[in-house]
Amino acid sequence: MEPIQWLCEQHPFLMYQCFSIPFAFLFYVLAKQGCLSLTYRYLFLASGGCILAVVTMGVYSLLLLVSTVIFVLLVCSLSPERVHPWVFGLQMGWQTFWHLLIQYREYYLKEPTDSRLLLSVSSLMLLTQRVTSVSMDLQDGGRVTLMTQCRVFLPLISYALNFTALLGGPLSSFDQFVYFVEQITISPPPQPLSVISYKGFQVLSLEWARNYLTRLLRDNASSLSVSNNVLTDVLWIWGLAVVLRIRYYSHWKISECLNNAAGLGFRGMVKEDSPNWSGLSDGDLWTTEMSCQVSEFARRWNGTTATWLRRLVFQRCKTAPLVMTFGFSIWWHGIHLGQFVGFLVWAAAVRADYQIHKYLKPKLTSTRRRLVRTCLCWLNTQMVMACVVIAIELRSTSSLRILGLTYTAVFPLLNVLCIFIV
């Protein structure tokens, strides 16, 4: 019982995702054997999402159900070109209301926020991705004929409330989802037990590393305020940021695992006996952490969300698309002070990154110079992202104070200065 107790107390999200994996695999087995008709496949995924929402969020599951009902009514009642503005406006307004309510309780009333409410708002943010993805498909002309007929009523509900993506993503398009549900009986992906085991082991390894680093940081936290060693303080801040990022990698990996258990994410065979299950992924620790540019890190971090933001904001804004994209990220995440500072610093660092590499590239003619540049750029990326992640995750002024006291804020400030110098 100790592992289960640890999951319940320390990592409820991980627990919910782990307990959902057997039901996802059950869906895969029943669908592959032809025991579920197309209608029942959609019902299985949608009802699983409803049950998961009620069990994990209680009464706050209504946040998702209300959004889904409004979304389906809008799609079935409006012309395709008018759906996106209405879906985007109402969904973001609904989400913002709950974000502001949480802030009112935390900062004005000084009340602890119910963990079920936090989980429901987190799921609401993911639902925003899915419903706006559909509305953009409609606006861009995707599946217009099918959509204007209300024969997609059940697929839309299933896509919005699908239990494999309800709590943790990653984002897949409506077309991909429908194709998967329709084809799983006709051409099912290979059995996913091996990839589930492999990714499950990765999650355990990440959680072990996170807990070990957390204990190490806790043991050395007392010396942070009295230490005169700037390097020690900077390393402590970097370690804290690594711990926070590992938690995300763990979340994404268990979410991949859940989707793979249902058969989602299969991209074909690399070799005759080597299936590729990387079709749905929000990021890989090694690939992301080895990024030598802040802009490269931004593209790889939370990959499906980055793609969604690029499509929703960056490609549609003619004026200052970079600033508008990161500005919308502040709104989508909840408009906390730390998030405001963190995302603006990130945007400035990305802008500086483009200018610095454009300036340095013609001057780096030798292999030695390029190697030195790569190492220094990796170090800069790590420290800038450490400041960004801590500011966004801790959200309050305390995070900004910690960064200032340890001189870690010097790294993003230098990047900002480069915008005006280079």
Amino acid at 173: S
CA distances from 420 to 348, 351, 356, 377, 414 (A): 11, 11, 11, 19, 10
Catalytic residue chosen out of the listed positions 211, 220, 333, 357: 333
CA distance 83 to 44: 27
CA distance 422 to 418: 5
Which residue do the tokens 């959680």 mark? Answer: 207
Say if residues 408 and 387 touch (Cβ distance below 8 Å). Answer: yes
Per-residue HEC secondary structure of 132-189 comes to HHHHHHHHCCCCHHHHHCHHHHHHHHHHHHCCCCCCCCCCCCHHHHHHHHHHCCCCCC
Q: Say which DSSP state 36 is in.
A: S
Amino acid at 78: L
Q: Give the N- to C-terminal CA distance of the chain in Å, as an integer.
A: 58
Paired strand residues for 271: 274
Say if residues 160 and 127 touch (Cβ distance below 8 Å). Answer: yes
Q: Cβ atoms within 10 A of the Cβ of 115, count? A: 13
Catalytic residue chosen out of the listed positions 302, 336, 380, 415: 302
Say if residues 305 and 360 touch (Cβ distance below 8 Å). Answer: no
Question: Is 211 annotated in the active site?
Answer: no
Question: Is 302 annotated in the active site?
Answer: yes
CA distance 205 to 14: 14
Q: Cβ atoms within 10 A of the Cβ of 270, count? A: 10
Question: Which active-site residues does the annotation give?
Answer: 302, 333
